[in-house]
Amino acid sequence: MAGIAKHVLPFNSQAVNKAGPRNGKLTEWKIEGVPGLTLVVQPTGVATYFVRYQVRIGAKRVFRRSKIGDRKLVTLQDARKQAFDTMTKVEAGDDPVASAKAAWTAMTFKQLAEDRLASDVEISTRTRNEYTAMLKYDVYPVIGDHPAGDVTREQVATILHGIEKRGALRHADHVKSAISSTYRWAMGRNLVSENPASGLARRSSSVARTRVLSEDELRTLWVGLDRDDTGLSWPVRAILKLAFLTGQRRLEVAGARKSELRDLGGTAPTWIIPGDSKVGGRVTEGRTKNGKEQRVPLSRQAAAIFREAIGRAGSSECVFPADMKKVRIGREPKHPHLHADSITMAMHRLCFVLGLQDATIHDARRCIATWLGERGVRPDVIDLILNHAPKVQDVTRRHYNHAVLAEPVRQALQAWADHVEAVGRGEGERAASKVVAMRS
């Protein structure tokens, strides 16, 4: 405020409202009886209340001024109250201007979350996309512009309660995970000091699904996958068949690449689904859910389906390329292969046509594990088929023993494929005798 002429006004609304610039120059009027309160009048006549104070920074005394508001919008009495509030904070050792600037320049929750989603190499692409959508629609409208360090448990609880009132209990838990994991990531980098989502209770109760298809249901499904009147395209039916023959997840099957398949016409056909890899500290994401490479010895039936699919795929690297007829002209498909959600919807449609109740693609994994387990197949072999980590892991199993047990896994998957094929022909348990029970 150097160079501004300073004058004194009595604490009187009429006098303050009449005060104007002196000699056509910017003028600062001190309000009598109110410490720090001033009125700055521009040559145009626009007048603004400020409160002036000084703080000690080291050996220096620094002058600050904090804006209160326009004379037309703020009464003299309100200006006095705000001036007293500010000076009280100063007397207590606070610096309101510096604090306001810090809050203004602080990273908002939206900036923090976007930074995490862009740079966290430990988060999968699928989770990143899910969190991006959840935060955009449920979180940013409420706390997106708040300084990340000022977000409270009450604000997070309010967001979750609003989702809960919509009846979306599981979604509320997923949103909580998105917020909480963002703060855990930030705390590890000393960007925030606490996690406001920590300790908030779950909204939904998790109940493990136990559905296993009966032999009659498996026959209905397998025969139905060969029907042309279900409305499913050949690639979709092939993906569903491979999911039931190999026990792999829908996205892993739908996204299969030709380069992942080995020796399809030989005696040891194999499908190698890449896991995560780290080079120079950066993680290159693979295609498996747990990030571990998955080697799937293929049964004769699965290898035959893959061979036909490759023949139909043309020049695409994907075994099941996206259907360009369903992509808007001039746009690229979201994925180069058939979308996993499309496979899920196709399974629902197939079950409706066939009259199957409450059957999903993921049930295939449970069917394989149950059928093989009942016939004495070793648990570690079943874990390898499903790409599950062993229930008990010592240092050796976790870091050194990466045996793939290719032959026992191949025998088990071939026995399962023979069983499915026999069931489809109405021969029931005929294939079960081919399974060799292997002790742990």
pLDDT confidence tier of residue 402, bands split at 50, 70 and 90:
very low
For the chain, give the mean pLDDT: 86
Q: Are residues 238 and 304 in the same domain?
A: yes
204 within a domain of the structure (yes/no): no
Residue 201 lies in a domain: no
Percent of the chain scoring above 90 in pLDDT: 57
**Is residue 271 within 8 Å of 293, Cβ to Cβ?**
no
Q: Under a CB-based contact definition with an 8 Å cutoff, are residues 288 and 253 in contact?
A: no
Instruction: Tell me the pLDDT tens digit for each residue of 234-252.
Output: 999 999 999 999 999 999 9
CA distance 72 to 22: 19
- Residue 192 in any domain: the answer is no
SS3 for 265?
coil
Together in a domain, 239 and 334:
yes
Contacts 24+ apart (CB under 8 A), 148-154: 148/106, 148/107, 148/108, 148/109, 148/111, 148/112, 148/183, 148/186, 148/191, 148/192, 149/106, 149/192, 149/193, 150/103, 150/106, 151/109, 151/196, 152/196, 153/196, 153/197, 153/199, 153/200
End residue of a domain, out of 47, 74, 105: 105
Same domain? For 126 and 156 the reply is yes
Between 159 and 283, the higher pLDDT residue: 159
Q: Check if the beta carbon of residue 89 is closer than 8 Å to that of residue 83.
A: no
Q: How large is the average pLDDT for residues 310-337?
A: 81
Q: Does residue 70 belong to any structural domain of this protein?
A: yes
The helix/strand/coil state of 394 is coil
Q: Residue 161: is its pLDDT beyond 50? A: yes
Confidence band for 404, pLDDT divided at 50, 70 and 90: low
Give the pLDDT of residue 206: 61
| Per-residue pLDDT, 392 | 55
Tell me the pLDDT tens digit for each residue of 364-399: 999 999 999 999 999 999 999 999 876 655 554 444
- Residue 102's pLDDT is 66
- The per-residue pLDDT for 80 is 95
Distance CA(339)–CA(221), nearest Å, equals 21
How does 285-299 read in b/e, with b if 16+ C-beta sit within 10 Å?
bbbbbeeebbebbbb
400 pLDDT band (50/70/90 cuts)?
very low
**Looking at the structure, do residues 333 and 241 belong to the same domain, yes or no?**
yes
pTM of the model: 0.62
Closest to 156 measured CA to CA, from 137, 179, 136, 135: 179
pLDDT > 60? residue 432: no
Q: Which residue segment(s) compose the domain that 303 sits in?
A: 215-434
Crossing angle (nearest 10°) for helices 406-424 and 379-386: 80
Minimum mean pLDDT range among 28-37, 98-107, 284-293? 98-107
Q: Alpha helices, DSSP H only, in 7-135?
A: 13-18, 76-91, 96-105, 109-119, 125-134
Is there a domain that residue 249 lies in? yes
Per residue in 60-76, pLDDT tens? 888 888 889 999 999 99
Domains of the chain: total: 3
Beta-carbon neighbour count of residue 138 at 10 Å? Answer: 21
Q: Please say whether the beta carbons of 138 and 159 come within 8 A.
A: yes
